[in-house]
Structure formats: structure tokens, C-alpha cells
Structure 1
Amino acid sequence: MFNIIIGLFGGLALFLYGMKSMGDGLQKVAGDKIRKVLERVTRYPVIAVLLGAFTTAAIQSSSATTVLVVSFVNAGLMTLKQAIGVIMGANIGTTITAQLIAFQLTDYIFLIITIGFCLNFFSKKRVYHYIGQFILGLGILFLGLDVMTSSVGPLKDSPVFIEFIASFTYNPLLGVLVGILTTCLIQSSSATIGILIALATQGIITFDAAIPVLFGDNIGTCITSLLASIGTNLNARRTALAHVMFNVVGTLIFILLLPFFKEFVYLISPDQPARLIANAHTSFNVLNT
């Protein structure tokens, strides 16, 4: 059990570091531009949603996007209506990571890391340097996922753990709670999805049991914006609360429609655990918007 825990947390550390490196690389390329565009272009709801999705995909953190939005609202640079559009988009943008890791590029991990390292360390142009940082981060992210997948393998032989995971199928609220707590603890919805994919790849968790955790993951990611809203003005606090309500209400609706949602995801996805989970994550956030 000790080896499982160490392996899981070690892999998670690599995963989070890789994701941060990816976000930092893209942010250095386009970070200031993103902030300026956020300030100016959010007057149209559809554009606000698209911008929220793009920003989150670029910086690899929906929490960072929502914190940025809360700060803009607090500073009077953005209205509550504009902010809600960006937050909706942020929920979509955060699913990009899940789609990336669903490709299961484990055979190419070290090639990706090598390319990223060479660009990052030997390139004299800043743009290529930061692109290299992104690619290196992507490789480390996949390495972390591979470590997590290998580490959780022995859990297949634990009847207690398997029974607990299986209970999410007939008790989805328990799965939602696990998703909320996990994401609150590790402060990354993408990392929670990564853990789910690792478990699913090993056959430890079924797609049906993973969905409630996935829903809870979206609620858990709201904790950062709530914390960021402490001490801000009324509209900024409303922005953070809107983020919570958006995900909570969406989760409740989708739990009621769970059989139909599962059928929809099966319809659009290949019979492959990682892709099913990634597509469920994306579908939930797109349809919820």
C-alpha cells in the first residue's frame, strides 16, 4: 500500500508540474495579450465564453481564469454579466487537458520530453524557448500519468477498494462528494480527471462509476474563486458564487439525466476508457454552458 501511495502522489506531482510548465510556457507567449483582450472583448456573451475557454486552455487552469475574472470585476474592469460568460468558457477550456491525456501517448513520452528539453534549453529565441517549455511540460504530464497508472494497478486486487469505487454507480452523490474533496485538496480538476483516467486504464473504475466523480470535480474547482473573492466587493463575490451555482445546478441536472448522458457519451466515443472519460468531461461542460 505504501508503494501505491508514494507512486500515486509522485505521479500526481509530475502531472501537476507538467501542467504548470505547459501553462507557464503559453502564458509567457501570450499572457499579457490575454489579459488585455479579456478586459476589452467580453461585452458579447458568446465571445466571452470563447475567450474564457481559450484563456483556460492556454494557462491550463480554470481556477486561474476565474481568479483573474474575480479580480477584474472587483476592479470594475468587467461586469458581472461579462464575467459569467468567461467563467462558462473556463469550464470548457479546462477539458482540453483531459482530451490531451486521453491520447495515451505513453510510447512517446521521452521523445516529447527530449524535444521540449532541446527547444527549452538550446533555443535562443524566446518564443521557441517557451514553446519548448510547453512541450517539456506535456511530456512530464504524460510521464506523471504513466506513473499514476502503473502505481494504482495493484488496487485491482483490493476487494474493499473495488467495492467502494463500484458504489459510485448506484450512489452517485458519494462519487460527487469524492470528486469535490479530491479537487479541493489537489486544487486541480484536470489532475482529478488524470487520476480517473489512470484508474480506468487499469480497469479499476468503470465509466459509470467515474461520471459522478467527474461531476464533483467541476464543483471542487470552485473553491479557489471563492477564496479569491474574500474581501472583494459585492459583484466580485457574486461572480465567485455564480461559478459555484453554475456547476452545482449543472451537476444536479445531469445526475437526474444520467442515463441519457451516458448513452450520449457512448454514442460519440470509442470504446476506450480514457476517451470516454475525457469526452464525458467535455460534453458535461459544453452542454452545461
Structure 2
Amino acid sequence: MFTVLGVCTGLYMLLKGMNVMKVGLENLSREKMRRALANLTATPVTAALTGMVLTMLAQSSTAISVLTVGFVNAGLLNLVQAVGILLGANVGTCITVQLISFDLLHLALPAAAAGAVLWLLGRQNPYGQLGRALFGFGAVFAGLHLMAAALAPLQHAPWFTGALVSLQRNAALSVVAGALAAALLHSSAAATGIVMLLSNQNLIELPTAVAIVLGNNIGTCITAVLASLSGSRAGKQVAAAHVLLNVLGALLFLPLLYPFALLAGCTADSLPRQVANAHTLFNITSSLVVLPVIYHFTALVRLVVPDRLR
């Protein structure tokens, strides 16, 4: 019961903290985002750079993908511009995962305390939104620490280790599990943070962690898909492009899982950092592969979701 309570409380703090941080950063940069999306997407390269920078500002690729769907529905962006933004957003989200991979617990409480004061005093002004983001930052790392403490006893629970062993025997099942986790959490960064926790507790090996991360990237697309359901065909094409980008990337990397995990293992000393670096390498490589053939990729998207219903 204490383990379940600790994990649930830590997960709530992690998700709530990420949401509070995201909203604070979005409010700080909302007008900049709108102007950038409208003015800085003339070419695929500038669109990708814009998507990357905006995602780094908002700390949420999901927010940028949903915003992009909205702009396409409104006729302010075309499909090529939108795909460029998604390519950049996939790279920008790596910053969040890289931050989570560091042991920043010693900064969590001071950041949360300072953020709470600024938030209470500033409310809706920029200082208040900065405080909101700082409070969320502190809650994220406090939640991760609480979850780590709660998960520690599970190293000796046969049912839990048995479930993880079954994942380690089947890479495709690990991808599916990762996709479901990110879809339920509506955040690939949060799901990847949990994977880093499990690896840090030596509960899963690096290849399994990498496979789950590949699934996390697929699962995070669900929010953009849901946002597109009531919109135009163009908006549905953007959501389909987001799904295709991550599914094709996972299919590209899955046969190379063990060499890729070996490469990621050479990039850092600790498992959480290796997982974060694998996530970064995957997203950068996927985006760089698609960017030169973006017009062919959008043609594929139009085959999957035609411009008009037949």
C-alpha cells in the first residue's frame, strides 16, 4: 500500500508539475509563439528551427503539435510548414528529457518555494508566470524522487520483476508498452522520465529502456490526433504526419536496437543519462532523415489521409 501510494503521489506530482511548468512557460511566450508560427515558417528548415525553439520555450512538443493543428485548421499554415514545425518540435522536446536525467533534487525545493512566492505575488504578469514555471520545475523533481523511493522495494517483488523480464524478452512489446504509457500520460517526457527511474533502479536494461522510449514517441501523438478529430482534413493530415514520423522512426531503429543501445551506452556513465541521450539521438536522427525529403513525406501523408474524402 505504501509503495502504491508513493508511486501514485509521485506520478501526480510529476504530471502536475510538468503541466504547471508548461502553462507558465506557454503564458510567458504565447504571443511570441503565434508570431513565430505565422512569420518564420517560409521554408522547411526555418519551420523546423521555429518548432525546435518554441518547444524549448514551452517545454512541451504536445502543446506545439496541438497549436500547429489549430493553425492548419485556421488556414494559416500549410502541410509542409506544419511538418517542418513537428520535425523541430521532436528535437526541442529532448531538452525536457535531458533536464530530467540530471539529479537536480537539491534545486527542487528552493525552486518550488521561490516559484510559489513569485506566482502568488505576480499572478498573471510575467514574473508570476515565471514563478509558476519554477514551481512546476520543483514539483517535477520532487515527484521523481518520491517515485524512486517508492519503487525501490519492487526490485524484490517477483510479479514486478517478472513483468519487466517479459518486456526485456520482446522489444516490440516494449515499444507497445511505451506507446500506451505516453498515451495515458499525454507526455512522452513524463513517460521517458519513468523509464529513466526504472533504469536507475536497475530494473530494466538499456536496450529495453530504449525500446520503451521509441514507443513513448509514438504514444505522445495521441493528443494531436484527438485535437484534429473535429477539425479540417488538413488538420487531420498534420496529426497523421506526427504519427507517421514517429512510427517510421521506430521501425527504422527497432532492427538496430542493440547496436543503437550500445552507442547510447558510450555517451554517458549513468543509465538515466544514456536513456536521455538515446531519446535525443533518435529524435534528431529521425528529423534529419525526413527534412531533406519533406515534400515526399507530405505526399505520403496525403496518401494516408487524402485531401478529400473519396
Q: Normalised by the shorter chain, which TM-score bucket?
A: over 0.9
Distance in 1 of aligned mates of 2:84 and 2:90: 10
Task: Give the corresponding residue for 2:145.
Answer: 146
Residue 33 and residue 159 in structure 1: after superposition, are their counterparts in 2 closer, same or farther (change >3 A)?
A: same
Does residue 263 of the first structure (1) align with residue 256 of the second (2)? Answer: no
Distance in 1 of aligned mates of 2:131 and 2:123: 11
Which blocks of at least 5 consecutive residues in structure 2 are unaligned? 288-310
Once the 2 structures are TM-superposed, how far is the Cα of residue 218 of structure 1 from its aligned partner? 0.5
Q: Give the partner amino acid of 2:264.
A: V
Task: Give the corresponding residue for 1:273.
Answer: 271
Aligned length: 287
1:1-80 equivalences in 2 (<5 Å) = 2-80=1-79
Task: Give the corresponding residue for 2:227.
Answer: 228
Task: Give the corresponding residue for 1:156.
Answer: 155
Does residue 101 of the first structure (1) align with residue 78 of the second (2)? Answer: no
Residue 238 and residue 272 in structure 1: after superposition, are their counterparts in 2 closer, same or farther (change >3 A)?
A: same
Between 210-219 and 109-118, report the one with greater CA deviation: 109-118
Distance in 1 of aligned mates of 2:124 and 2:174: 47
Once the 2 structures are TM-superposed, how far is the Cα of residue 28 of structure 1 from its aligned partner? 1.7
1:156-235 equivalences in 2 (<5 Å) = 156-235=155-234
Distance in 1 of aligned mates of 2:17 and 2:33: 21
Give the SS at the match of 1:257.
Answer: helix
* Superposed CA offset, 1:112-158 (max 9, x none): 22222333334599333222221111111100111111111111001
Between 64-73 and 49-58, report the one with greater CA deviation: 49-58
Task: Give the corresponding residue for 2:286.
Answer: 288
Distance in 1 of aligned mates of 2:138 and 2:241: 35
Check conservation: 2:207, 2:258, Cα contact below 8 A. no
Check conservation: 2:20, 2:133, Cα contact below 8 A. yes
Task: Give the corresponding residue for 1:87.
Answer: 86
- Moved beyond 6 Å, runs of 4+: none
Distance in 1 of aligned mates of 2:58 and 2:19: 8
Check conservation: 1:177, 1:213, Cα contact below 8 A. yes
Check conservation: 1:20, 1:60, Cα contact below 8 A. no
Once the 2 structures are TM-superposed, how far is the Cα of residue 171 of structure 1 from its aligned partner? 0.8
Distance in 2 of aligned mates of 1:221 and 1:112: 27
Distance in 2 of aligned mates of 1:125 and 1:168: 45
Give the SS at the match of 2:266.
Answer: helix
Give the SS at the match of 1:72.
Answer: helix
Task: Give the corresponding residue for 2:307.
Answer: none
Q: In angstroms, what is the RMSD of aligned CA positions?
A: 1.7
Once the 2 structures are TM-superposed, how far is the Cα of residue 238 of structure 1 from its aligned partner? 1.2
Check conservation: 1:168, 1:210, Cα contact below 8 A. no
Q: Give the partner amino acid of 2:30.
A: G
* Superposed CA offset, 1:47-104 (max 9, x none): 2112112222222222221111111111110010010011111112222211111111
Does residue 115 of the first structure (1) align with residue 114 of the second (2)? Answer: yes
Does residue 126 of the first structure (1) align with residue 125 of the second (2)? Answer: yes
Which blocks of at least 5 consecutive residues in structure 1 are unaligned? none
Distance in 2 of aligned mates of 1:132 and 1:204: 35
Q: Give the partner amino acid of 1:77.
A: L
Task: Give the corresponding residue for 2:290.
Answer: none
TM-score of the superposed pair, with normalisation by structure 1: 0.94
